[in-house]
Chains A and B, each alone.
Chain A
């Protein structure tokens, strides 16, 4: 039996330590060991984006990151977006624009959208669709998701004034 590895990392701004097997993905450890089930498994091979988290600020498919790799890294998951009792503007816009139906892809989309808007505060529709092509949705047909990201850009711009 291979011994478990001790990993020390920062998740949503807080120090977190865990033990894991080398074969466990970051997604598996977030969900099963750390208890953050907001990131979802849709395919386990990097084709649907439901497991998207930010790893040192970059959006990644957490199913394709080994948990042992994140020692010393900064991870942001969907659970880290809302501040105290307030939803993040992206979360709020997704609700107002009805950009979710079953909701399973929603955390992944919100994380990708955050990564996009952090870099490009005013993206075109094409840029949004291009950057979010790694997140699959089967319920909405994407239309309201794109609108929600556009509205989020506006809302976030207003808030920084």
Chain B
């Protein structure tokens, strides 16, 4: 690996000024499970690496009735180890549990996964489904961006020179609503998603009708996709297998994947449909108060 300077920031302002000074020659280090590989394999370069894991705002999370504020550097294992998070945001836990294996989850963070901005990122469909807002700090102050707009191209996002993702804000987990994330991989662990699907639903009090829904897909386009039309079309529909199937068909039609070593175009389009159908069904079951395990 080419050598670089290493600095540890203890405040957001310190991180921002270090990043602003070096622009794209500086990289943020949270878990390192993407960055270190990229530096080693010359996929990314850095003259300065800024460790942000000593900034309290990035390493804390706060779950209240208003929602969840998740620091950008919180490692995945802390999420699935928290029962309250498992109950309130199960799709977030679905994602956290499958990014790499246990050793990766000890370090990797949801915020880092988002900022790496891979089209196949396992956290992003979940974040989109939950309609998360990204909190960003930069030389010109703080701003927010809806997560569906965050990734702009493979490996690229809206962060400007000197900017840092500080936290992710989840809306309150209300009654009769829940989410699910499901991905397809050829093995059972340790693979990059061939297709990933995140779903969130708000059901009526009887649990029979979908009031609102948000569906998202990974690995079928240059960025993770919010399926706006398919999601909107579910409003008012009965929460039945027929509806889930229709949603899957719409997803399959929208998906624009590529042929690569992980899957072919036809196969990915087909899987997009299958996974949207299954993840939507899972979100509905959870919204009704039932349990649903993505690994079944």
CB distance A58 to B77 under 8 Å?
A: yes
CB atoms of A25 and B189 under 8 A apart: no
Asked if B37 and A64 sit within 8 Å, CB to CB, the answer is yes
B101 to A68, Cβ gap below 8 A? no
Question: Interface size for chain A: under 10, 10 to 19, 20 to 34, or 35 or more residues?
Answer: 20 to 34
Q: Does B49 contact A (CB under 8 A)?
A: yes
Interface residue B33 (Cβ < 8 Å from any Cβ of A): yes
Give A40-74 interface residues, CB cut-off 8 Å to B: 44-47, 49, 52, 55, 58-61, 63-66, 68-69
B3 on the interface (CB 8 Å rule)?
yes
Q: Could you tell me if B189 and A46 are in contact, using CB atoms closer than 8 angstroms? A: no
Pairwise interchain contact A22-B4, C-beta atoms closer than 8 A: yes
Residue B102 is within 8 A (CB to CB) of chain A in the complex: yes
Closest residue of chain B to A49 (Cβ to Cβ) is B103
Given contacts A45-B37, A64-B33, contact A134 B5 (CB under 8 A): no
What is the chain A residue whose CB lies nearest that of B38?
A: A45
Nearest residue (CB) in A for B35 is A64
A131-B102 CB under 8 A given contacts A22-B6, A46-B37, A64-B107 = yes
Query: Is the beta-carbon distance between B106 and A130 smaller than 8 angstroms?
Result: no
Chain B CB within 8 A of A133 CB: yes
Q: By the criterion CB–CB under 8 Å, are A23 and B4 in contact?
A: yes
Pairwise interchain contact A134-B189, C-beta atoms closer than 8 A: yes
Closest to B295 in A: A130
Q: Report how many residues on chain B are interfacial, defined by Cβ distance under 8 Å.
A: 30
Contact string, B21-57, partner A, CB cutoff 8 A, digits 1/0? 0000000010111001101110000000101010000
Do A23 and B3 touch (CB < 8 A)? yes
Chain B contacts with A in 79-117, Cβ cutoff 8 A: 100-104, 106-107
Interface residue? A76 (CB, 8 A): no
- On chain A, the residues within 8 Å of B1 by CB distance are 23
- Bound-state CA distance A134–B51 (Å) is 25
Per-residue contact bits, chain B 173-214, to A (CB 8 Å; 1 contact, 0 not) = 000000000000000111000000000000000000000000
Residues of B within 8 A of A49 (CB): 101, 103
Please name all residues of chain A whose beta carbon is closer than 8 Å to the beta carbon of B32 when the two chains form the complex.
64-66, 69
What residues on A are CB-neighbors of B51 within 8 Å? Answer: 68-69
Q: Tell me the smallest distance from the CB of A30 to a CB of chain B, in Å.
A: 15
Q: How far is the CA of A55 from the CA of B105 in the complex (A)?
A: 13
Q: How far is the CB of A57 from chain B (nearest CB, A)?
A: 9
Partner of A65, one of B39, B100, B107: B107
Confirm or deny: B261 has a beta carbon within 8 angstroms of a beta carbon on chain A. no
9 nearest CB pairs, A to B: A134-B101, A133-B189, A22-B6, A58-B106, A23-B1, A61-B103, A45-B37, A23-B3, A134-B103
Interface residues of B (CB under 8 A from A): 1-6, 29, 31-33, 36-37, 39-41, 49, 51, 53, 75, 77, 100-104, 106-107, 188-190
Residues of A near any B CB (own CB < 8 A): 2, 5, 21-23, 25, 44-47, 49, 52, 55, 58-61, 63-66, 68-69, 112, 115, 130-135
